[in-house]
Amino acid sequence: MKEPKIIYYKDELNDEFSKAKIKPRVIDENYIYIHKNPLWNIASFLVQNVFSVPIKVLYSKFKFRIKYVGKEKLKKYKKQGYFIYGNHTQPFADTFIPSMAMYPKRNFFIVNPENVSMKILGNFVQMLGAIPIPSNKKAMKNFLEAIEKHIKNKHSITIYPEAHIWPYYTKIRQFKDVSFKYPVQLNVPVFCMTNTYQKYGKNQNKIQIVTYIDGPFISNKNLGKKEQQKDLRDRVYNCMVERSKKSNIEYVQYIKKN
């Protein structure tokens, strides 16, 4: 194993280290979150749950040798919608790590507008399950209706509350509780998936992703809405912090600038 690459950061909440530099499109009230065309929806299902699966399986096996711990916790909830929260450490693998754990359940994921801003590929990414964050208040209504519809259709929705990609980061960054309002409002369970980086191989010189699945976390209805949101966030965050301690190798080292 080579010496870890060093990345310096200033702001844990806002620094972004994805290599992709894409000008984000405006997600306004004209953006179609829910397609009524049956052909589009059939194509989306095939792209998401059929055609892309071999690529996901091969990439998982040969690139990261991904292993899941706790996958059985999701089985009880296969006939209802729920939210998944994870740490954001891979630009490509993060799009399918949750969905492979719960397959054949359809998984959708909330993304920044950049993810659907590429010509042609933007539609393909949406077919894979991307739900872009709206750029203005007028689009928010459609965004929230899409989330509610997917939950009612017994799909899962993945959220990366850290918001920005830090490749191979082995700790959990601070994140806000704003995204936890969705499970509180819709009264559905929450799970978290913590990706850790661990050594393997005869000489312990290879790296794999071991993903720990925890939950369900249920909103505490004895609290007010805002308090439920914060409480849910804190329980998920603390669980992910504990799981992140399972990482035993640093492929990339992050150092805060003074």
Q: Are 157 and 131 in contact (CB under 8 A)?
A: yes
CA separation, residue 174 to residues 15, 50, 61, 102 (Å)? 12, 35, 30, 26
CB neighbourhood size of 216 (10 A): 16
Structure confidence at residue 237 (pLDDT): 98
CA separation, residue 176 to residues 77, 230, 233 (Å)? 26, 9, 8
Q: Which of 160, 150, 99, 108 is nearest to 131 (CA)?
A: 108
Identity (one letter) of the amino acid at 206? K
pLDDT bracket for residue 115 (50, 70, 90): confident
Indicate whether 201 pLDDT > 90. Answer: no
Handedness of CA 240, 245, 249, 252 (dihedral sign): positive
Indicate whether 22 pLDDT > 80. Answer: no
CA separation, residue 193 to residues 39, 76, 199, 209 (Å)? 33, 16, 19, 12
Indicate whether 1 pLDDT > 70. Answer: no
Structure confidence at residue 245 (pLDDT): 98
What letter does residue 231 receive in the DSSP assignment?
H
Indicate whether 18 pLDDT > 90. Answer: no
Give the residue-averaged pLDDT of 9-15. Answer: 92
Average pLDDT for the chain:
94
Question: What is the value of pTM for the model shown?
Answer: 0.93
Q: What percentage of the chain carries pLDDT values higher than 90?
A: 84
Per-residue pLDDT tens for 90-112? 988 999 999 999 999 999 999 99
Give the residue-averaged pLDDT of 214-237. Answer: 97
Distance CA 83, CA 183 (A): 7
Q: Is 42 exposed, middle or buried (0-12, 13-18, 19+ CB in 10 A)?
A: exposed
* HEC secondary structure over 15-43: CCCCCCCCCCCCCCCCCCCCCCCHHHHHH
CA separation, residue 86 to residues 38, 109, 117, 172 (Å)? 31, 11, 23, 9
Per-residue pLDDT tens for 124-133? 999 999 999 9
CB neighbourhood size of 243 (10 A): 23
Give the residue-averaged pLDDT of 204-218. Answer: 95
Structure confidence at residue 107 (pLDDT): 97
pLDDT bracket for residue 2 (50, 70, 90): low
Per-residue pLDDT tens for 137-175? 999 999 999 999 999 999 999 999 999 999 999 999 999
Give the residue-averaged pLDDT of 20-35. Answer: 88
Structure confidence at residue 109 (pLDDT): 95
